[in-house]
Chains A and B, each alone.
Chain A
């Protein structure tokens, strides 16, 4: 680069001649050079700024354009992604413990009308009323010709109905796809499942939400897409449920009962194998709850869970077991059972004013179901300890079973646990609990003495709960219950091969406004089988049952609930794979060996 000299010789000489300062020339040239340098670097900087601003502008324009595109365009599934995700139904299935379906989904259509699009409104109304007899032609026509623009006509259609509506050929009658809940087994397990209905409804789909029972309790689980359509597996066994319902229904009719309930529970895990409450309903067509009258008379009422009754003498075994656990009595201790017993202004009597006394062994107190004997034992235990024991067994709280109805069914007992409460509670009066409470209590007491929690979910392995009573006490209690069936009040309960043990309970029904009915009973039989190696607990409760086969109606549990329970065990135990225990006759056993 050729730089202009700061002191060009020609100008310097000329300036000297003219007598001027040559430094002024140098300063002038320096100034010019600096100005040139400044202009060049400004140009460079301006160029760089321009490039940078163009770059930033493009970047922001790109982001803005993408945002605008995303906002303005229709959402679309990523098509290039061949996802392995299964297309699953909106609501998961419910199955029994062997995977048989209890509740599933069906695909159907709803029918709605876009009124402005309709062509021949009177004809459409007429034809629709012919297809659906419950629709009123006049009312339909009013709706079609009124102010409404949109109208739901049916929530679900059968394929035949859909075709018939299609054949009307009106462009304003439209179908929207629907998933509907289907209970293929009908009334079986109706109370457990509850039912489902539509939630928010749109033209293209509708929510299916549970309204009662397991469907409502597990609503979130069943609707969670993260589960990938995994079914909810219950502890119910469909076959056993069917047999139990059949026998119980027959028993209810034979014994002229108003209602009946039964709970069959695995004594070790607390799994409810079967639970029936009669009368029942079809969950596919769940009736609306009655607004008047006693809700307990509605078929929607689950007697096994919601039915809080005084369960009578079935409670006696708890007092006896506790007294054995505390070491106050043994199975053969003689206790005072002289009836009637006076306590304050109360008189404790035996059934039909009998007197089993003056002395009875503890086993015979259970076998003969002596109120007085149990009352004496309970007074030895005392109010505080008795209440604590019943609390541990779960009789003072609602059951933790996974049904939406369960927390509402709280046991009823006096807030002040006085001595008379101690006496009456020992034989199951003055404290009301549900059959499910009783099943859990019997299971906890008789399975070897560890607490079980009732559940409707299938469980593979359940760790034993906290200990309630010792193994010996549990075995002794089972022996006593076995004696009740062998030579006591539940002699009809014997089932050859299954060593049934159990306790009857007959309690008068309370009147709605105080006092008790003389001729209306709640009959309960709480059974455990086989007593030598307990596997299952069965509770059968009958409401206002009476055996009218003889001249005088017999209303005790021994004549009503017990034979039904025996038949239940005879039918269900083989289905549960329980091999009857055969007394050995001394034959040498053939052992299967492999060759």
Chain B
């Protein structure tokens, strides 16, 4: 009986030793992975910072101004002026044809003008 117990505990010790050995290597691998990831995060952050700096550099107002001037014929961009602010009532809405009931959609008004406001 006693010898069986001895043999069993010897196997248990060997099993545990193998498990501990295995865990040790897994832990070291995980640490290496973390380190690798940290390094990668650092590198990514660095390149992100460089990209952000480059984005800011390429979008500097001076350069955008030059680009707008160079492409004026194509884009026709001008500085924002007060006249470009509009109001809702200054918009002309698209004319829908069946606005007068019973006339159908083939009814066309010649020389239509857009009218707004009260009747005189």
Query: Contacts A570-B82, A590-B89, A592-B88; is A104 near B49 (CB within 8 Å)?
Result: yes
Query: Contacts A107-B46, A587-B89, A590-B88; is A498 near B61 (CB within 8 Å)?
Result: no
Check if B116 sits within 8 Å of A587, measured CB to CB. yes
Which residues in A have their C-beta under 8 angstroms from that of B46?
107
Q: Does A289 contact B (CB under 8 A)?
A: no
Check if B85 sits within 8 Å of A574, measured CB to CB. yes
Which residues in B have their C-beta under 8 angstroms from that of A582?
87
Check if B62 sits within 8 Å of A589, measured CB to CB. no
Give chain A's interface secondary structure class.
Answer: loop
Which residues in A have their C-beta under 8 angstroms from that of B88?
589-590, 592
Check if B60 sits within 8 Å of A185, measured CB to CB. yes
Partner of B81, one of A188, A570, A579: A570
> With A and B bound together, what is the CA distance between A587 and B116 in angstroms?
8
Q: Does A305 contact B (CB under 8 A)?
A: no
Check if B85 sits within 8 Å of A101, measured CB to CB. no
> With A and B bound together, what is the CA distance between A241 and B62 in angstroms?
11
Check if B52 sits within 8 Å of A104, measured CB to CB. yes
Check if B65 sits within 8 Å of A184, measured CB to CB. no
Partner of A86, one of B45, B50, B89: B45
Q: Does B80 contact A (CB under 8 A)?
A: yes
> With A and B bound together, what is the CA distance between A149 and B56 in angstroms?
41
Beta-carbon contacts under 8 Å, B76-120 to A: 79-85, 87-89, 116-118
> With A and B bound together, what is the CA distance between A239 and B31 in angstroms?
48
Which residues in A have their C-beta under 8 angstroms from that of B65?
242, 246
Check if A87 sits within 8 Å of B41, measured CB to CB. yes
Residue of B nearest to A104 (CB): B53
Check if B56 sits within 8 Å of A571, measured CB to CB. no
Which residues in A have their C-beta under 8 angstroms from that of B82?
495-498, 570, 573-574, 580
Please classify how large the interface on chain A is, using the bins under 10, 10 to 19, 20 to 34, 35 or more.
35 or more
> With A and B bound together, what is the CA distance between A79 and B39 in angstroms?
12
> With A and B bound together, what is the CA distance between A519 and B87 in angstroms?
48
> With A and B bound together, what is the CA distance between A537 and B46 in angstroms?
41
Beta-carbon contacts under 8 Å, B29-65 to A: 31, 34-35, 38, 41-42, 45-46, 49-50, 52-53, 56-57, 59-62, 65
Q: Does A72 contact B (CB under 8 A)?
A: no
Beta-carbon contacts under 8 Å, A539-591 to B: 570-571, 573-575, 579-580, 582, 587-590
> With A and B bound together, what is the CA distance between A135 and B66 in angstroms?
34
Check if A104 sits within 8 Å of B79, measured CB to CB. no
> With A and B bound together, what is the CA distance between A80 and B27 in angstroms?
9
> With A and B bound together, what is the CA distance between A104 and B61 in angstroms?
17
> With A and B bound together, what is the CA distance between A404 and B93 in angstroms?
56
Give the distance to chain A from B110, nearest Cβ to Cβ, in Å: 26
Which residues in A have their C-beta under 8 angstroms from that of B61?
185, 188, 238-239, 241-242
- 8 closest A-B pairs by beta carbon, nearest first, are A242-B61, A184-B56, A101-B56, A184-B57, A580-B82, A574-B80, A590-B89, A87-B42
8 extra interface residue pairs, beta carbon distance < 8 Å, beyond A79-B34, A80-B31, A495-B82: A86-B45, A106-B53, A184-B56, A239-B61, A496-B82, A571-B79, A579-B85, A590-B116
Cross-chain pairs A/B with CB under 8 angstroms, 26 sampled: A79-B31, A79-B34, A79-B35, A86-B45, A87-B41, A100-B59, A101-B52, A105-B53, A106-B53, A107-B46, A107-B50, A184-B56, A185-B56, A186-B60, A239-B61, A241-B61, A242-B62, A498-B82, A570-B82, A580-B85, A587-B89, A587-B116, A588-B117, A589-B87, A590-B88, A592-B88
